[in-house]
Chain A
Amino acid sequence: MNVDITDLTRRFGRTQAVAGVSLQAGAGVFGLLGPNGAGKTSLLRMMATVLPPTSGRMRLLDRDPRSYAPRREIRRRLGYLPQNLGYYPGFTVAEFVEYFALLKDIPPGQVARAVAASIEHVDLGDKARTKLRTLSGGMLRRVGIAQAIVNGPELLLLDEPTAGLDPEQRVSFRALLRDLGQRATVIVSTHLVEDVGAACTEVALMDAGKIVFHGTPDELTARGEGSGAAGDAPLERGYSAVLAAARSVTAARS
């Protein structure tokens, strides 16, 4: 198990962004779906060791991130793509990826090759020495993915990775996810249901800080059948059905 979380919560002041999440994930592609404000980004941030949890137990890559040395080890094996990744306009693609490769403690002798491989992996080989300020939004997103995978991470956390990618690039991206999911735990947070559903082996749906569904994409689709829920595609209908059910339960309780 690369990710082992029990009853994790996170509060900001009076808001509970994450209200008791339990999750175990091994190798494979794990989709984290849910509407905006559901708590996905906070959960991802906690797994990325950016945000400390308010309560609950978390073990990442078999280590406890609360202590300095294990946390540093986790970070060496971690790849993270935040929802809003700023970039350094004057850096080239290669310089940007190399900067974070060095910060991830990749030994200097291996950096050049790792950087080249990750840039080629996201199909930016002909832009390696161009400055970031000249790139489009989709290309910048791919640069972000490149820095996330440069250290061959065992735990890869991607927050809205397909923003700005055109359909053809999304197809390549799904192939990349499947490839990475063979050795690593890849957790993809997105509000675009169909986008990721095809590449994921497991899917969790979050709403209001809790996980309201956890299973395979097929099981999610099954929840949508015959329920008359809104959606143009099978996974979307399952998504809507589960959300509607969860919200009616909450409404009934209060």
Chain B
Amino acid sequence: MDDDGLVARVAAGDDTALRELFSRHAPWLAARLRAVLPAAEVEDVLQETFLAVWRGAGRYRPAGAAGGWLWGIARRQAALLLRRRGPAAAGLPDVVTAGGREAGDPAEVALARADLAAAVAALGPPGAPDREVWRLLYEEDRPVAEVAVLLGVPPGTVKSRAHRARRLLRAALRGGAAAEGGSR
């Protein structure tokens, strides 16, 4: 059964559907949250997330985007927890300040990092062409020429892959950093 069907079953009060949803989605949700929170908090957030799913499944509109919906709930629960316990609970050594703007709400910033990581994951598995280009060009800040040499492809290819990567990322971030994985 697909995710939309499962959520519909959960809305109808079927706890075995919730169990199936949990076994499918809890692992990647846990991984994404773990990038932002310590393990004990991840467990608490996951528990609250799936309880919220159990209570609120009726509000889901089937659109094939159950993963994004789940992440949205998890994100909200994580933000609630971080606000309750203070930014220290995030366990992050540093807070990202993006180009001159204020850090803002540490909880939001921490979650924004998780969103970005998820969007990057949408580019493909580590080692995939688009993702490698992204990593070398933007995360490691290398010049195009160096990246071309490292990847063994012409600079033109690097530029077009970078263009595609930016397009995919914009779409992924706009779409709310949706589903798990992303490779098709």
Contact = CB atoms under 8 A, between A and B. Distances in A.
Q: Do A and B touch each other in the complex, judged by CB within 8 A?
A: yes
Interface of A: 125-126, 128-129
B51 to A, nearest CB: 12
A43 B116 CA distance: 64
Nearest to B20: A126
Nearest to B13: A129
A126 B19 CA distance: 8
Contacts, number: 5
5 nearest A-B residue pairs (beta carbon):
A126-B16, A129-B15, A126-B19, A125-B19, A128-B15
A97 to B, nearest CB: 15
A145 to B, nearest CB: 20
Q: Is the interface of B mostly helix, strand, loop or mixed?
A: helix
Contacts of B15: 128-129
Nearest to A130: B16
A139 to B, nearest CB: 14
A125 B16 CA distance: 8
Nearest to A129: B15
A62 to B, nearest CB: 35
Interface string B14-37: 011001000000000000000000
A126 B16 CA distance: 5
A243 B19 CA distance: 49
Interface residues of B, number: 3
5 contacts: A125-B19, A126-B16, A126-B19, A128-B15, A129-B15
A128 B14 CA distance: 11
Contacts of B19: 125-126
Interface in B8-62: 15-16, 19
Nearest to A128: B15
A125 B22 CA distance: 12
A129 B19 CA distance: 12
Contacts of A128: 15
A128 B15 CA distance: 9
Nearest to A94: B15
A38 B15 CA distance: 45
A5 to B, nearest CB: 43
Contacts of A126: 16, 19
B151 to A, nearest CB: 47
A128 B16 CA distance: 9
B28 to A, nearest CB: 21
Contacts of B16: 126
Nearest to B16: A126
A125 B20 CA distance: 11
A130 to B, nearest CB: 9
Nearest to A125: B19
A129 B15 CA distance: 8
Nearest to B17: A126
A125 B15 CA distance: 9
B166 to A, nearest CB: 44
A18 B115 CA distance: 68
A13 to B, nearest CB: 50
A129 B17 CA distance: 12
B159 to A, nearest CB: 52
Nearest to B15: A129
Contacts of A129: 15
A133 B6 CA distance: 26
B46 to A, nearest CB: 15
A10 B165 CA distance: 80
B43 to A, nearest CB: 13
Interface string B131-171: 00000000000000000000000000000000000000000
Interface string B58-88: 0000000000000000000000000000000
A249 to B, nearest CB: 56
Contacts of A125: 19
A126 B23 CA distance: 12
B108 to A, nearest CB: 32
A236 B16 CA distance: 42
